[in-house]
Structure 1
């Protein structure tokens, strides 16, 4: 057999599996609600695995190891220690309360949840539009998978890109959230296998213990073995490495395709099972970025483009058969999050923009509106294709260090804007006005993009720092508004 034969066979089996999930999704899809959040009959274990797959994806398995290859241990501390700690804290704080309030307002999406919680449709529209920032992360996944498919299947970049965008688009359009949850859980299982294979591939480098491993890195470049790397663009000091990433981890939970997982759960007691499963699997997945260090030791003088590090490492280290298994795991890692994003964005379009307009205009009953909402969700997905493809092509031919920067810039801005509405909507909704919530969200976007594109401070190039400033600024705005609301009205002089 040729070197790519195994890869094509495994890829074909994978496509057959997700097609089956899509068919099951059709049977479970009884209306727009089922398309959006599924039937709520899926096990919390599967949803927890789906969560883990969504939160890591191509960024952790394909793109971030390239940054670790460049900058060393400092990146591991940031992305495999500090960021996960923040993620776990965020999941524990938000999941139960968000699901409980989501049931109270029967929300299908995060923008709807925010608008209903504060009683203002304008907030729903604002956050529905802001959710388009997640297109940046779709681009990150597309670029990562395009490189992997092109390398392992030996097909041209444009063909690989068409496969990357087209395959999840088709089965999510068919099966909606039910297909998404089922395929995500199966993909998480594949990702577990691949994570173990990738982590085990560098076992020989630890023959002298952790100290020996660090010595090998230091022999290439002393900064690679240091907890902070002043020569890097992303991990220059403890503020960037730890403080920013812990806070980003807490806030990253507020992405629509992540928070909406809690709405898939049938009851309150399911949340603990969901969280336990998700966190255990996430610990393994976040560790995969160590592959960046393995690649640097294996190819110390190559200085590969960051986004090409993992595809190159796979081809250099593994046999065609094992390479094929890894290919499927990496495809699963990318598709899992891409599916979540596609379901979230298409549902936001139909639920938060189309359905209110249709009900306001009249002329259609609820069943007709729901049927059209499902159809328009699919139209929206098709409309996304050229946008994602064009931006992805630009990132492949002319990257700015790594597509990770673009992806982070988009999603970090989004969750910076949604952090205050969700936090205060859960815990202080009766003590803060909807005007203050909107002001805080706008503040977050202005601070984030103003700092990044205005190149304010030496940290501006690292999206985590503008996002941290945005989170702090918007929270202070909200706290200030809440404090003003508590002040008694000034006394008036009687006449």
Structure 2
């Protein structure tokens, strides 16, 4: 037996095997708790709000923060840290605090299982449900991002072919989500978030030697490689050219990014309104730690100064192999896999639930040929069929991203996800905080967001078009302006609440 070969990959295989067993057990417990389609979609609602908050943090960061985005920081320096680890997190925290409690309250009123259903029920129009169910397919781009990132990490640390790793990344979470849905997903996410916390600390501490002379010394080392790496903006970059891109766009994106179905729906997992504060506190504290992992991109640049020598998506896997011994490398592998699987699970649950709940159930109930019990049973079954059909689509696009990469798979992932939450921002904002908004105004504003985003990006309008955050910002502002104008012209004031009228009458008497 070649002990040296075992030393390089043996620990990684052992830890990886243990991780798979533990996740399978957690998924099995969740599967046992599943009792119907609602349980498949949002779980039992008996999970601790602290665990749901940790699940939220794991879902919001994932492989993008732990694997892909540090590669962009490697290329572009401190400007990327200000954008992705300061401005965007601040926007995320503001968005969570402003939206979560109200979204959950309205979700309970309409017993919503998904974001498209929530929007359709709020504005009393099933066409909106179908529209946003179809738009949710844009999240496939983010599934591809996770698949590519994890495939590269597994191939590097385990010493396997990248396409074999890709097949495993797609198939393993698919199996237990097919059978357990959200009941499996919330428990596995909580366990994965704990692993990610440990790995986040290991990765952050790995750069301690670079801070021997303090922050100024750290920035000085970056400036020695290239002065622009230590500056708050990077005119040579494609994503962080000025303060508008670095701060304004990323802050607005952070606020809007929580409107993704697999993120916003976490608030629906909570049993009562009293749980929301615990959920938010635990989620935000863990998110602060996770977003800080982006600093690894700067550590990697100091370790490997020649940026032209590798693609951004290869930076973190290479850094892990270069810096850590086999044992610690194995621990980090588990954290990175957990980071990717946690969000992948959330996306798989959200997309499969949206298909069955917002497409199949709407059509089946309108047809009126099946009983409610039969529709319920078929909904779970069709959620599973959808996941089976989704797998080859993700595999095909991921294959293309691995064999013919451009700058980074991050651009593909951002382009799809940013377009989606640009479209859902106005319906959720007005659905929570306004009354009497015409449904046509909601549909027109959402369509405007998609047209502006993709039109600006693919039409290459302005020098900023290649950065998905800028078209998304333009889409957010334009669609909000359209909605405000429509509301001002055609909106009707909310009907008075009869209970409030009765109370006022009694007070007057």
Residue from 103, 114, 117 that aligns with 2:122:
117
* In 2: Cα distance, 1:14 partner to 1:70 partner: 32
Residue from 51, 56, 80 that aligns with 2:56:
51
Aligned residue number for residue 212 of structure 2: 207
Aligned residue number for residue 156 of structure 1: 161
* In 1: Cα distance, 2:169 partner to 2:228 partner: 36
Decide whether the 8 Å contact of 2:249 with 2:469 is kept in 1.
yes
Scaled by the length of structure 1, the TM-score of the pair is 0.97
Aligned residue number for residue 471 of structure 2: 466
Aligned residue number for residue 414 of structure 1: 420
Deviations 1:54-109 (A, max 9, x none): 00000000000000000000000000000000000000000000000000000000
Residue from 372, 379, 394 that aligns with 1:373:
379
Structure 2 residue 69 is the aligned partner of structure 1 residue 69:
no
Residue from 273, 276, 282 that aligns with 1:277:
282
* In 2: Cα distance, 1:472 partner to 1:125 partner: 24
Residue from 320, 333, 349 that aligns with 1:343:
349
Which consecutive unaligned segments of at least 5 residues does structure 1 have?
489-495
Deviations 1:238-291 (A, max 9, x none): 000000000000000100000000000000010000000000000000000100
Aligned residue number for residue 193 of structure 1: 198
Deviation at 1:302, TM superposition (A): 5.4
Which consecutive unaligned segments of at least 5 residues does structure 2 have?
494-509
Deviation at 1:147, TM superposition (A): 0.2
Aligned residue number for residue 491 of structure 1: none
Deviation at 1:431, TM superposition (A): 2.8
Deviation at 1:166, TM superposition (A): 0.6
* In 2: Cα distance, 1:421 partner to 1:487 partner: 16
Aligned residue number for residue 83 of structure 2: 78
Instruction: State the SS of the aligned residue for 1:355.
Output: helix
Decide whether the 8 Å contact of 2:436 with 2:492 is kept in 1.
no
Q: CA distance change for structure 1 residues 479 and 23 in 2, over 3 Å: closer, same or farther?
A: same
Deviation at 1:366, TM superposition (A): 1.4
Residue from 26, 50, 66 that aligns with 1:21:
26
* In 2: Cα distance, 1:105 partner to 1:124 partner: 13
Deviations 1:104-136 (A, max 9, x none): 000000000000000000000000000000000
* In 2: Cα distance, 1:125 partner to 1:64 partner: 33
Residue from 94, 110, 125 that aligns with 1:89:
94
* In 2: Cα distance, 1:487 partner to 1:178 partner: 41
Count, aligned residues: 487
Deviation at 1:398, TM superposition (A): 1.2
Aligned residue number for residue 220 of structure 1: 225
Decide whether the 8 Å contact of 1:18 with 1:171 is kept in 2.
no
Deviation at 1:487, TM superposition (A): 9.1
Residue from 368, 384, 391 that aligns with 1:385:
391
* In 2: Cα distance, 1:70 partner to 1:62 partner: 14
Aligned residue number for residue 429 of structure 2: 423
Decide whether the 8 Å contact of 1:140 with 1:407 is kept in 2.
yes
Deviations 1:320-350 (A, max 9, x none): 0000000000000000000000000000000
Structure 2 residue 364 is the aligned partner of structure 1 residue 354:
no
* In 1: Cα distance, 2:86 partner to 2:69 partner: 14
Structure 2 residue 252 is the aligned partner of structure 1 residue 244:
no
Deviations 1:12-47 (A, max 9, x none): 111111111121112110100000000000000000
Residue from 309, 313, 318 that aligns with 1:307:
313
Structure 2 residue 24 is the aligned partner of structure 1 residue 12:
no
Structure 2 residue 132 is the aligned partner of structure 1 residue 127:
yes
Decide whether the 8 Å contact of 2:139 with 2:417 is kept in 1.
yes
Residue from 180, 184, 188 that aligns with 1:179:
184
Deviation at 1:371, TM superposition (A): 1.1
Deviations 1:453-493 (A, max 9, x none): 000000000000000000000000000011113699xxxxx
* In 2: Cα distance, 1:161 partner to 1:349 partner: 25
Residue from 363, 369, 389 that aligns with 2:369:
363
Decide whether the 8 Å contact of 2:320 with 2:329 is kept in 1.
yes
Decide whether the 8 Å contact of 2:12 with 2:157 is kept in 1.
yes
Q: Which sits farther off after the overlay, 385-394 or 296-305?
A: 296-305
Q: Which sits farther off after the overlay, 35-44 or 393-402?
A: 393-402
Decide whether the 8 Å contact of 1:25 with 1:174 is kept in 2.
no
Aligned residue number for residue 147 of structure 1: 152
Decide whether the 8 Å contact of 2:100 with 2:276 is kept in 1.
yes
Structure 2 residue 261 is the aligned partner of structure 1 residue 256:
yes
Instruction: State the SS of the aligned residue for 2:50.
Output: helix
Instruction: State the SS of the aligned residue for 1:269.
Output: helix
Structure 2 residue 344 is the aligned partner of structure 1 residue 330:
no
Structure 1 segments of 4+ aligned residues over 6 angstroms from their partners: none
Instruction: State the SS of the aligned residue for 2:273.
Output: coil
Decide whether the 8 Å contact of 1:192 with 1:285 is kept in 2.
yes
Structure 2 residue 269 is the aligned partner of structure 1 residue 292:
no
Scaled by the length of structure 2, the TM-score of the pair is 0.95
Decide whether the 8 Å contact of 2:438 with 2:491 is kept in 1.
no
Decide whether the 8 Å contact of 1:244 with 1:465 is kept in 2.
yes
* In 2: Cα distance, 1:486 partner to 1:401 partner: 45
Aligned residue number for residue 507 of structure 2: none
- Once superposed, what is the RMSD of the aligned Cα atoms? 1.0
Deviation at 1:231, TM superposition (A): 0.5
Q: Which sits farther off after the overlay, 317-326 or 395-404?
A: 395-404
